[in-house]
Structures are given as structure tokens and as C-alpha cells.
Amino acid sequence: MKNERPRRLSTAEERRETVLRTAIGAFAARGYWGTTTTEVAKAAGISQAYVYRLFPSKELLFTAVVEHCFVQVRAALESAAAGAGGGSPEAVLEGMGDAYARLISDNDLMLIQLHAQAAAVSEPAVREAVRQGYARLVEYVRGASGGTDEQVQEFFARGMLCHLIVSMGADEVDAPWTRTLAAGIRHY
């Protein structure tokens, strides 16, 4: 008889994390309106009822995904700020911008952000999750960089422009308009 290890049952929190990770891919691919909890449950290998036990509504599942993505962004910015070693606001913002550009090369994260912004227009809970996520990020960037309001605004504006460039594949088109948009914007 071979020595078998006892099977370890997953906890509700582990299942919640599995569903969250699975939902990121599903929502990234099809957006808030195009994704069903049935699809998420099937991809996670659990029942739809169990998804609803962990996340009582599709709206709560999506807002949890949005919040998770904001946490990832914050972690990347924190790491970059720490690596900047207390430099000038410009140096810290430059490092955070580079970290963000690398982070959104993961299309799922970028797509979740784009879908969340689109859904925020008509879904109040999603709008609030996006507002709160940006509120925390703006205050973090302001504090960590020591930048002025104008520098912080430019940091976020460049991030949005980076989204646009990456999402439409502007780097694949050699034209005056793409060179104008992409000038000085780093993307990976």
C-alpha cells in the first residue's frame, strides 16, 4: 500500500480566491455585461450556487475583481516608489509610471480596468468601486511621490493614454497620429 497524504480540503477563503482569479479572466474577456456567473462557476470548477454563496451577486463579484485589480496596481506602485529611494517627485512618478506600464502589459488587468470604467457609467456599485479605487491610488501617488496636483494629474492622464495606446495596438501602426499619441509614453 502506497503512502498517501490525506486530502486537504480547500477553505471558503481559498475557494473565494479561486473564483476571484477565474472571474478576472472571464470578465476581462467578455466584460461585465457579457460574463455570466455560470461561466465563472464552470471555469472555477464549482457550482453557480457556490459562487453565489461566496459572492451574493454578479455585481459583488465584479466589484471584488475591480478592487483586486486596484490592489495589484497599488502594490506595483509601492514597489516602484520604494525602489526610487526617496528621490524627487519626478523620479518617483517616472518609476511608478514604468511599473504601471509593465503591469498593464498583462491584458487581463488592463481589460478589467477598461471594462470597469465602461460599466461605471450605468452601474452605481461599479462606479463606486472605481471611484474608491482611484481615490486611494491618487492619494497614495500624491503622498509617495510628493508631487504637485498637476504632476499627479499628469501621471494619471499618461496612464489613461497608455491604456488607449495598448488597447488599440497603436504600436503596430506606423503613422503620424500614432507617433503623436505615443511620444514619451512607455509601454511594453
- Domains of the chain: residue spans and CATH: 59-182 (1.10.357.10)
pLDDT tens figures, 54-83:
999 999 999 999 999 999 999 999 999 999
Q: pLDDT value at position 132?
A: 98
Query: d(Cα 25, Cα 112) in Å, to the nearest integer?
Result: 9
Query: d(Cα 23, Cα 110) in Å, to the nearest integer?
Result: 14
40 pLDDT band, cuts 50/70/90, is very high
89 pLDDT band, cuts 50/70/90, is very high
Q: Give the predicted TM-score (pTM) of the model.
A: 0.88
166 pLDDT band, cuts 50/70/90, is confident
Grid cell listed for 74: 497599488
Q: pLDDT value at position 4?
A: 60
Q: Mean pLDDT over all residues of the chain?
A: 91
DSSP letter at 184 equals T
Q: Which of 82, 85, 27 is nearest to 60 (CA)?
A: 27
DSSP letter at 10 equals P
Grid cell listed for 181: 499619441
> 104-128 burial string, b = 16+ CB within 10 Å, else e?
beeebbbbbbbbbbebbeebeebbe
